[in-house]
Structure 1
């Protein structure tokens, strides 16, 4: 038996065996065995028949799996139990490799980055079947945990990369271990800091009192107090209630750099009375969120408005003055039991009173119009015609009474009356 004196662990080795039958009878079914745990056989040859005086030469292939000075023993065994053994000593040189790993020091949350792996063969024999295995903590997601690097010739280098993503903020270490046939190994690691945006959401006001159908503008501000840009920031209303109209429902604010902020407006309109407790949420592409609460209180009630005009003003003594009064309900509920009383000074004599709604009664210097109910959005128009008897700056007073919650509303109009000689 002959073979090399020095081999590389993990590399295929060939041994030459010479087997002779020195007996008087033929031997059949001779099996060649490797009896050494430092070598793994690649093939297991069998000799069908070896006649007396016959010699067979064989080449056996094996892979050394243990480093150091190893004894490789081969045995030829027949089914009858006849065997012969031969050994040779081989120096098995372990694989020698170095590992370099690299990656960015700072990464954005949820953004993928490349982890580079470089293995150098600094030994004298080839490295076979190099494979990198990666392990990472919970804050890191690996595209894959193993990377086949193949064979590396002496003095050669192989490179590979694995895509990695940080899914949580913090400082994370990815460990890399490279193994090859023959027991070679090298280890390294890469430490990265995953920076995340930190959102803060604020509102121009957290309590908004409104009447039904009244609009309010809410200014929303989102700031980024983190170390990384917040991408695709938006603000939305979580489970918006019925009875409240919000536009837009989702507010797009774009990207916000660290230390920066962005604003947007939402229009809020209650459609029915009540208390509405809302939750607004700000979020970004990295999955970071912030939220704040908002309360809208909406009331529904009648609301009476009065507009008075006089024509002409100034007028002439002995002439006619017309007062036009518009009573409207700009509220959201019906105004009930509405009554208007017009009080005129003695210098003005009531001549005619008309109303688009209600009953009119006139007495000395006073006219009362019982309008009754006024629906939301309804207008009642009244006309008072009077004769100007004397000059002066004359004040006509109008008082409107209605059922609660309105009570009494007052208005007045001053008219200047000029006498025949130009005085008043």
Structure 2
């Protein structure tokens, strides 16, 4: 227990697990995207277009990780509010006709030349940085601390998301703010806020017919198996086909246009079909080991700002994983959130690696602080 609490600094304070596990996850995602792309290109399309595109995003994400790992934490904290406001501006621009791209009835994308960009990912990157700074600077407590800054930041962050509409993004941003507040002030008001949020979401679902149809498809997908329940059913069929060890890479039947969004939101069922229960459990174990490694960094944090920032960044990575897995495994309604490091998509891949870079910077900062403290204690006293 002592080794876990103190982080076993001599053995686990290195950064290789912080970036090594996401690297393995990203490579697994590239393999699956390549498999899906090759099978779905039999209609005459370019077989390597999707994998080459994702590989470019992967390389760019690694570059951004290095940049973030070299960025001083003081500089990141000083300009965090600018990054937050800029991300809110971009999210709001998706609502402007002619600028935002409407896909599937929602405006969540911006077009940058031939590349689509989802500002939500930048918002999920900036909110933990800005919130950590606000919580550290705030001298309020109790209800006042929950109202300002937590509820204020959460409200302005999710307001444009509600108009897109983006219920999954709203859940993630609100969850990050509540978790960071609980780390500093306790769980009383976050639990109350979570209950109110659930009530508001229930009203939003009831007010929109398409959300009600999606909820009904979640509760009973077999009532409309060829329309609203088709994707959920095919995802479950993919898991069943995989059984224990899977059917083998490139041999999944669900890849042949049976499973919609197999490269993005539904890549986990595709992995389950090709690699079986063993493959999916191995994948989940990688997320678990990474979370434990980051938790050890969190336990070593020497300031409230670093503690809140580490927790917020970790929540912004692990939260989407739970939302995605809950949707594809029929544990919660679908929200269109990709699986971190694995699903096809440039915005999520790039900013996930940026978060890894900041966590590496925090780990390096703590290592230097601990080394300085150890050398000071080892100095001979006069």
Same fold (TM over 0.5): no
Q: Structure 2 length normalisation: TM-score?
A: 0.16
Structure with the largest fraction of helix: 2
Which structure has more relative contact order (CA 8 Å, sep 6+)? It is 2
Structure with the largest fraction of strand: 1
Higher alpha-carbon Rg? 1
Q: Structure 1 length normalisation: TM-score?
A: 0.15
